[in-house]
Each structure stands twice: as structure tokens, then as C-alpha cells.
Amino acid sequence: MADQRIQKVINTEISYIQIHQAGFEETNDINDYILNAGDLQKSIGNIAGVIGVCKRIVIQSMAASAETASGVLISGINPEQEKSVTSINDKIIDGAYFEGIKRNPAVIGKKLAEKLNLRIRSKFVITVQDLQNNITSGAFRVAGIYSTDNSVFDETNVFVRYSDLQKLTNFPAGAAHEIAININKGEELPAISEAVKKVAGDKLSIKIWKELRPEMNYLTEAMDLYMYIFIVIILLALLFGIINTMLMVVMERTKEIGMLMAIGMNKIKIFSMIVLESVMLSLTGGIVGIVIGAIASKYGETHPIDLSAWAQGYQQLGYDAFVYTQLDPSMLVDITLLVILTGVIAAVYPAYKALRNDPADALRIE
């Protein structure tokens, strides 16, 4: 669930790697742009594993409709290039992605549309400071309305064409505040970010998603932690279940164990017998459970769990209403080993009890 959330954030909101002028992220100063962003974009596009690069002008601004106004972050993007990096174009729920409006089209979030009472083709005014610190305004029309799972994002992000925003703010051609990079495989991120650093030089700030949104990383770590807590709880339940069962087994079979000791089974053999039985007990349950779990998980990969009834709260937090399950094969191996280990540990006390049996006493039991 957290992985799903992270993948979504990477795809819709932040992308894998972002480049800024050092300091831009703190100040959002319009003058902290990357002058040669266009050239840089081309050379980064040639790095192996990079599947999309786009540049953006990002400016804090005011969006105003006839009724009311709202502070927004306006991004001037190249609609085609943006598709290869983020998936806002897939999130359009009304209108079209930069289509249907000839002059100054804009794509806005559903939440903002509701707030400013805007519909498709509605006009609204964006007010920004230009590079010379003059206040300047431009009229845009809503071409498309998008909706992600993050309502805060939807309320504060407006997308317009790079060229339109460049004209409005007298921005130097080819310059940008932000370069966003998408890559093919998440595992290649460290290598690619190194390569990007080489191309971009060390004057610029290059950050991967974990650095861009540290809370995302906490989310993974927190989820991992929850997972371990769950596993520990389940294994503890298993442990006590097996201890209980094996104690019963040992007690019920006191006489049999006494007989086995009498006819020549030594302590090591009795001990191994109990441990082996315990491992087999835990494994039969374990394997059945793992098979059922794996099947359920495989099914959930294509048939998401529908939480939409409760999704309001989740969506505030940026979670999806449909949860896809995910199966990690290495996890299966780990769990199986843990189950076996639990079986062994659980057997120790019952086996010790079995060894305490005195054959002469045990055989006297009627």
C-alpha cells in the first residue's frame, strides 16, 4: 500500500530526480533559474535508462476567477515532454489535456476548480511577478481538469504551457526552474543520479525522490516497521500455539516417550524427534498459509481491494481508493525460514519437558 502510494507520488507529483538552481527550493525566487536548462535537458535525455526529461518554469502566483482567488503554484510545461515524466495527462477527468483551447490553455485540479468555481473553457487570471519584479497578469482558459489522490496537490497546482508562461514573465528562452527526470527502473536510480550529477555539474542541486519528499521515505520506513511488527506478532502467536500443542503432545505421550526411552532411544534422539515434529507442525500450517496468501495476493494484483467507501479520509492523505496487493518472492523465502525457526524455538521447552520424563515413572502411569 505504501509502495503503491510512493510510486504514485513519483509518477504524478515529483518524478524520480529533480534539478534546481541551488537555493530555489527554499526561496522559490523566480530569478533562481537554470539558464541552459534546454541544453541540459538534451544531454540528460541521452543517459541510458532515462526515459523522460522535462523542464518547467515554476512560479508562486495568484489564480483568480470572477468570484474568488487562491494562491497556486503555476508550472509552465511542455505538454508532450511532461507526459514522459509525470502522468497528469492520465488524470484528466473533464475536458482534455491542453486541447480544445487555442490561446493560453491551462490544466487545473478538481479541488481548485471547485474552489474558484471554474468549468471547462472558464477564464481565470493568473498574477505573477516577472523577472524584473513587476506584477503582471495573464488570462488563461481551463482546457482540462485533473484529479489525483492528493487533494492538496489538486488545489495548489496549475499547469500551463511553457511558452505561454515564458512570454508572460519575460523568461529567457530555454531557461527553467526545474528539470524533472523519469527513469525506467527504480533500481537504477543511484547509478543514473550519479550520471546526471556529472552532466549537470556541482553548481546545481540534484535530488532524488527521497530527498525531495523526505516524508515519503519515512512512509516506507514506517510501513516496513509496521510490517515487521505484524510479522513478529504473528510469529509470536505461532510460537505460543506450537508450544501449547507440543506440550499437549508430550504430555499425552508421556507413556510412549517413557517406553521409547526404556527400549533405547537416547535424549538426543527424543529431543530431535520433538523438534522435528514441531517443525513439521509449523510447516504444514505455514505452507498452506503461504500458498493461500500467495494466491490471494496474485489475485489482488489485478483485482484491487475497493476502499472507496472509506476513501475520503485516505484521499486526504494522498492514498488511493483502490489498493493493489504486491507479492515479494524473497519475502516468501524469509517467512518460510522464520516459520521453521519458530517451530524449532517452540519445540525447545516441550522437548525439555519430554526429557525430564523418567521412564520408570512414565511407565507406571495407567
Under rule CB under 8 A, residue 360 binds other proteins:
yes
Look up residue 148 and give its amino acid: T
User: What are the residue ranges of helices labelled H in the chain?
Assistant: 2-8, 24-27, 37-45, 79-83, 110-116, 151-156, 162-169, 189-200, 209-212, 214-252, 254-263, 267-302, 311-316, 329-356, 359-364
- Distance of alpha carbon 190 from alpha carbon 196, whole angstroms: 10
* Binding segment toward other proteins, per CB under 8 A, in 195-203, 257-265, 281-289, 309-317: 257-265
Identify which of residues 47 and 261 has a Cβ nearer to other proteins in the complex: 261
Under rule CB under 8 A, residue 255 binds other proteins:
yes
Choosing from 30, 204, 261, 335, the residue that interacts with other proteins (CB under 8 A) is 261
Packed helices 329-356 and 267-302: angle between N→C axes, nearest 10 degrees: 150
Among 5, 95, 162, which residue's Cα sits nearest to residue 108? 95
For the four alpha carbons of 239, 243, 244 and 248, in that order, the dihedral sign comes to positive
Binding to other proteins (CB under 8 A) within 269-298 occurs at 269
Identify which of residues 292 and 360 has a Cβ nearer to other proteins in the complex: 360
Under rule CB under 8 A, residue 260 binds other proteins:
yes
Binding to other proteins (CB under 8 A) within 318-337 occurs at none
- Grid look-up 507479492 returns 327
Cβ(107)–Cβ(88) below 8 Å: yes
* Binding segment toward other proteins, per CB under 8 A, in 98-106, 159-167, 241-249, 355-363: 355-363
- Distance of alpha carbon 277 from alpha carbon 150, whole angstroms: 52
Under rule CB under 8 A, residue 119 binds other proteins:
no
**Residue 191: partners with Cβ closer than 8 Å, 6 or more residues away:** 49
Under rule CB under 8 A, residue 69 binds other proteins:
no
Choosing from 31, 266, 272, 312, the residue that interacts with other proteins (CB under 8 A) is 266
Choosing from 256, 306, 328, 334, the residue that interacts with other proteins (CB under 8 A) is 256
Largest CA distance in the chain: 102
Smallest gap from residue 270 Cβ to other proteins (A) = 10
Identify which of residues 83 and 253 has a Cβ nearer to other proteins in the complex: 253
# of chain residues touching other proteins (CB under 8 A): 15
Binding to other proteins (CB under 8 A) within 148-187 occurs at none
Site for other proteins, rule CB under 8 A: 255-256, 259-266, 269, 359-360, 363-364
